[in-house]
Amino acid sequence: MAVISNGTTISFAGTAVDATDISITASSTAVDTTTLGAVLTTAIQGRPTVTGSATIHMDNARALDLAQKFAGATPTTSAITVVIAASGAGAGGVDFSGSAIITGFNPSWSSDAVQSASVSWQYTGEITVARA
């Protein structure tokens, strides 16, 4: 298999694959608490949401394994670990791990030995962030 990653990997339910273009986004809504007749709007922070996306790269066997895991209409909840490798020797990296629902899996099949897919997920609970 060709090496196309800098050491950044994502593990979905025990299947580890190389990854590029990783994005992890944390956001929340603002809940309006303005009282009737108030001049200024007031708000409090709503529930936070953390989502992620990446382009993953794998050999044919792993591509088939992931396609079988994520096929079907029912969302799949899996343990997801994202290991982001920092550039430079000995620079270390960061692990983001937690349970998530896979919200998108879009493979691109080619005749090459390396297959790619865009994948997106939403974390369903607490996320552990640690130095790799």
pLDDT, tens digit, for every residue of 11-51? 776 777 888 888 889 899 999 999 988 889 999 998 889 89
Residue 93 near residue 84, CB atoms below 8 Å = yes
DSSP 8-state secondary structure symbol assigned to residue 86: P
pTM flag (> 0.75): no
DSSP codes joined into one string, 99-111: EEEEEEEEEE--S
Q: At 44, list the tokens.
A: 């409090």
Task: Please tell me the predicted confidence (pLDDT) of residue 77.
Answer: 61
**Token duo for residue 52:** 């992620």
- Single out the residue of 14, 18, 13 nearest to residue 1, CA to CA: 18
In the chain, where the domains are located: 9-26+48-131
The percent of residues in the chain predicted with pLDDT above 90, rounded, is 8
CA 120 remoteness from chain centre: 6
Centre a 10 Å sphere on the Cβ of residue 91 and count the other Cβ atoms it contains: 9
DSSP percent split of the chain into helix, strand, coil, nearest 5 = 10, 60, 30
CA-CA distance, 35 to 68, in Å (whole number)? 52
Q: How many CB atoms lie within 10 A of CB 87?
A: 9
- Please state the separation of Cα 92 from the chain's center in Å: 20
pLDDT of residue 2: 41
- The per-residue pLDDT for 62 is 75
